[in-house]
């Protein structure tokens, strides 16, 4: 009998996910996020050649960028453009909120710059959760020290009736994955995700 006849077996589905972004004074509503790439990594290699043989050794781990797409809406509290710009340059309505630290060079007295500390704090916790048919978490990823590398605010076109999106690219130092089998890497220091 084929394993697909087992009604208890459920494949993970691409459309069953939630992306939580809760940074500083800004958050983006989960229901507005329509697409996200899962974390991935690459391991570099070193090689040693001996006669007509090549031997490979693993090198450094690099975590690859994560992209997400959010629908931009006309709303005072859920405007995606305003949310991303607030993360980038701070919320003008919140005293002391500098976001990632960007300031326009309006005069020679503007010397503040973007920093990793401010950038990570502005993004806050980034958690990608995959859910089952009952809404239970089956897999979760937490990005550590994530910050915005790139933001694209869509393309306007008289010939299109499409919704406008904001595309954001994140870089991060490392990620933790948690499934029913445990947390990976096993030595990760992180709150429980599932």
Q: Give the start-end residues of each E strand in 39-156.
A: 41-50, 53-63, 66-71, 125-131, 137-144, 147-152
Q: Is the pLDDT of residue 1 over 60?
A: no
Q: Domain limits of the chain? A: 12-184
| Low-confidence winner among 6-20, 43-57, 121-135, 141-155 (lowest mean pLDDT) | 6-20
pLDDT by residue (tens digit) across 127-166?
999 999 999 999 999 999 999 999 999 999 999 999 999 9
Instruction: Classify 12-184 by CATH class.
Output: mainly beta
Return the DSSP state at 107: S
Rounded to the nearest 5°, which phi and psi values hold at 189? Answer: -100, 105
**What confidence tier does 3 reach under pLDDT thresholds 50, 70, 90?**
low
């Amino acid at each position: 009998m084929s394993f697909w006849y087992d009604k208890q077996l459920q494949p993970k589905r691409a459309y069953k996910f939630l992306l939580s972004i809760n940074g500083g004074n800004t958050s983006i509503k989960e229901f507005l996020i329509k697409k996200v790439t899962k974390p991935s990594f690459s391991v570099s290699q070193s090689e040693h050649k001996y006669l007509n043989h090549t031997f490979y050794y693993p090198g450094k781990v690099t975590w690859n960028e994560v992209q997400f797409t959010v629908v931009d809406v006309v709303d005072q509290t859920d405007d995606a453009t305003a949310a991303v710009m607030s993360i980038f340059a701070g919320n003008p309505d919140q005293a002391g909120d500098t976001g990632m630290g960007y300031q326009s060079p309006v005069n020679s007295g503007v010397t503040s710059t973007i920093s990793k500390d401010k950038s990570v704090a502005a993004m806050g916790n980034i958690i990608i959760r995959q859910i089952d048919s009952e809404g239970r978490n089956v897999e979760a990823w937490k990005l550590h020290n994530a910050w915005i590398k790139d933001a694209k605010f869509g393309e306007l076109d008289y010939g299109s009736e499409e919704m406008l999106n904001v595309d954001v690219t994140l870089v991060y130092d490392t990620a933790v994955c948690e499934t029913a089998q445990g947390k990976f890497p096993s030595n990760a220091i992180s709150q429980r995700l599932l």
